[in-house]
Structure 1
Amino acid sequence: MPAQSTRELIVEKADALFYESGFEATSFADIAAAVGISRGNFYHHFKTKDDILDAVIARRMERTRAMLGGWQAEGEGPRERILSFIHMLIANQSQIMDFGCPVGTLCSELAKLGHAAQGRATEIFGLFRDWLADQIRELGAVDRAETLAMHLLAWSQGVAVMATAFKDEAFIRNEVAGIGQWLASLPDLSQPT
């Protein structure tokens, strides 16, 4: 595997800092220090913080597409694939309890700032929504797929917000179990009766 370029390392470190500290609170100096480069070398790769934000959003989009593709390839059926999405809350519970959902926190912060990149950040949620809707359509709920996908996405975001607020692993596990029960209660409309 080729060595990571300085530009890629800047984007990786900026992504982590934006998640853990917030976009607005993260400075060029913070990112340069995390990467271990001078500010002059930093400016060779990115001229503005918005340029870095664009690269971070592109990185998150790429990683989300790869994750969804993996779930699609590995899941035995739509229910199992949706469970992969739901179990992401448990797999990432420590980070979620400390910093919230990486997509949700970025979208919220950019919306508060009235930042032009907010719409692009929201496209990450769009990837999840569209993928979930495809899974729900495959279950046969064609007319309600978008609505149910948004419900599931909103439920998972609510769990992430409350997990951050209350720092309660049991809450996350209980909610994930509840989402799983809700999913199991959906009829498989794709099968003939």
Structure 2
Amino acid sequence: MVAAATRQQIVEAADRLFYERGFEATSFADIAGEVGLSRGNFYYHFKTKDELLDAVITHRLLKTRSMLDIWEAKSKTPEERIVSFVNLLVVNQAKIMAYGCPVGTLCNELAKLDHLAKDRAAEIFSMFRHWLSHQFIAFGREAEADALAMHILMRSQGVATLAAAYRDEIFVRNEVENMRAWLAAQRPGTPVLPETLS
């Protein structure tokens, strides 16, 4: 039980440091220092950095799945659930302005490194894409569901990137309001073609 708790502490510390400093810039020593472990004790839990990265991605996938399940349980309509996704930009605004989107930054870094885990990290985006598509189907936009899901994913990533570049709270809040207005315009009866999603 103690070993499992220590392993979880390591994964959570690595998750935070990979986000704040980047995967490549974070060493085992950095993570061991955060958790208060000797290198020997650290290596008992993780032999390689790639093994730890895999555990961090699994941790993020589980957290994301849990968050989506909570939105499903708490929100009565698909529109409310999609708004919960959009609102992440405001809920996590301070961190996004400081470090960018945790999913996007990790995917970008691993792609630049041509790391074997790059596709696995992108599974988090795929999870959001599938879930958003499902919401748009329930919303009555079955024919365009995947295009609409990709549009809102793209738009949220653009906002996160510019939020990190400019650190402008007003910009983030305005864009979230614009995304909510865009979503309201997607209600059934309003024809929208994938080419004119903006």
Distance 1:8 1:24 in 2: 21
Match in the other structure for 1:126: 126
Match in the other structure for 1:23: 23
Match in the other structure for 1:97: 97
Match in the other structure for 1:113: 113
Match in the other structure for 2:170: 170
Matched, 1:146 2:154: no
Partner AA of 2:140 in structure 1: G
Give the structure-2-normalised TM-score: 0.93
Match in the other structure for 1:57: 57
Is the partner of 1:143 in helix, strand or coil? Answer: helix
Distance 1:42 1:170 in 2: 43
Large movers: runs of 4+ above 2 Å? none
Match in the other structure for 1:44: 44
Give the structure-1-normalised TM-score: 0.95
Q: Deviations over 1:134-165 (max 9, x none)?
A: 00001111111001100000000000000000
Distance 1:47 1:107 in 2: 23
Partner AA of 1:162 in structure 2: L
Moved more, 139-148 or 89-98: 139-148
Match in the other structure for 1:180: 180
Distance 1:139 1:13 in 2: 38
Distance 1:139 1:15 in 2: 34
Partner AA of 1:175 in structure 2: E
Match in the other structure for 2:10: 10
For the aligned residue pairs, the C-alpha RMSD in angstroms reads 1.2
* Aligned-residue offset at 1:4: 6.8
Match in the other structure for 2:35: 35
Match in the other structure for 2:88: 88
Is the partner of 2:141 in helix, strand or coil? Answer: coil
* Aligned-residue offset at 1:180: 0.2
Distance 1:26 1:168 in 2: 27
Partner AA of 1:74 in structure 2: K
Distance 1:129 1:153 in 2: 7
Partner AA of 1:186 in structure 2: Q
Is the partner of 1:5 in helix, strand or coil? Answer: helix
* Aligned-residue offset at 1:7: 0.3
Is the partner of 2:143 in helix, strand or coil? Answer: coil
Match in the other structure for 2:192: none
